[in-house]
Structure 1
Amino acid sequence: MLRERINTETKAAMKAKQTLRLTTLRLINAAIKDKDIAARSGDNVDGVSDDQILAILSKMIKQRRDSATAYEEANRMELAEQERAEIEVIEEFLPRKLDDDEVTAAIDAAMKKVGASSIRDMGKVMAELKSSHAGQMDFGKVGGMIKQRLG
């Protein structure tokens, strides 16, 4: 389970006195706990699933990339480097990224599975890809690829 792996890595970072790594892992745990609290509605007592944790991690990476770009534009390179170091720690918990050929094959398979034939089916294709390939591809780029195929 992804949550257990993150907790184990947090303890190891504490023992090894890896400050940046420990801080980043604590931020990950805090984001997961926030989502757990938000998800506790009635019968959901287990908290968030691994797929939801992957979505949290992907969102955290996107936020850090945006921050790093903003810091670079403001000529604050030390802060941009810190954001990139945090990205590296977070990426350790994501599945391997698919290469371009694998992404194309995944798009084709998802389009076939949902029976996509026009641009109106783009949401169905994206939903299928997000459920089957969470954390494995950049959905911003994938959206453009799907539009090309359906448009």
Structure 2
Amino acid sequence: MIRDDIKAAQIEAMKGGDKERLAAVRLILAKLKDRDIELRTASQVPEDDAVVVDVLQKMVKQRRESITMYEQGGRAELAAKEQAELDVIESFLPRQMSEDETKAAIEAIKAEVGAASVKDMGRVMALLKERHGTVIDMSKASGLVKAALA
């Protein structure tokens, strides 16, 4: 499980004295703990890896936005720090589907549900997220679905 890999990476970073990696891994673990606390009251708890991937994807998105803002603001040192954290976070994510694989999955779902126009985008996106949510960047997939249905 991904959570076990993250905990092992924490121990490895502590033993190796890699302070920057350790800080990033601790950030991940803190976010996971927050999410676990949120889910205590939920009626249906999703699979653990799905929760971890969701948290990691949100962290990746936040880091990318921060990097863009820091670069626009001329703060290269802060952008570099965020990039280092981003690299650590991405190392725990499962391999993401390529653009071609994503397009193939979209076409398969489009044919399955008989989607013909942009009006059907919600159904296609829902199935895409359900089946491939952990290995697809949904923000990029949204544009691909819109293009496929246009």
Shared topology, TM-score over 0.5? yes
User: For this pair of structures, how many residues does the alignment match?
Assistant: 150
Task: Give the gaps of 5 or more residues in structure 1.
Answer: none
Structure 2 residue 67 is matched with structure 1 residue 68:
yes
Distance 1:97 1:64 in 2: 17
| Structural mapping, 1:34-49, within 5 Å | 34-41=34-41, 49=48
Structure 2 residue 18 is matched with structure 1 residue 15:
no
Q: Give the conservation status (yes or no) of the 8 Å contact 1:118–1:150.
A: yes
Q: Which residue is 2:96 aligned to?
A: 97
Larger mean CA deviation between 103-112 and 128-137 belongs to: 128-137
Q: Structure 1-normalised TM-score?
A: 0.89
Distance 2:114 2:46 in 1: 33
Distance 2:42 2:84 in 1: 38
Q: Which residue is 1:121 aligned to?
A: 120
| Structural mapping, 1:124-135, within 5 Å | 124-135=123-134
Identity %: 45
Q: Over aligned residue pairs, what C-alpha RMSD do you find? A: 1.9
State the 1:47 CA deviation. Answer: 7.8
State the 1:96 CA deviation. Answer: 1.3
Q: Flag the 1:101–1:33 CA change in 2: closer, same or farther, 3 A.
A: same
Task: Give the gaps of 5 or more residues in structure 2.
Answer: none
Q: Which residue is 2:30 aligned to?
A: 30
State the 1:48 CA deviation. Answer: 6.1
Q: Flag the 1:95–1:47 CA change in 2: closer, same or farther, 3 A.
A: closer
Larger mean CA deviation between 128-137 and 89-98 belongs to: 128-137
Distance 1:61 1:71 in 2: 15
Q: Flag the 1:100–1:47 CA change in 2: closer, same or farther, 3 A.
A: closer
State the 1:25 CA deviation. Answer: 0.7
Q: Flag the 1:123–1:72 CA change in 2: closer, same or farther, 3 A.
A: same
1:97-123 CA deviation, whole Å, 9 max, x = no partner? 222211111111222344423323212
1:92 partner SS: helix
Distance 1:20 1:113 in 2: 46
Larger mean CA deviation between 81-90 and 34-43 belongs to: 34-43
Q: Give the conservation status (yes or no) of the 8 Å contact 1:54–1:135.
A: yes
State the 1:86 CA deviation. Answer: 0.7
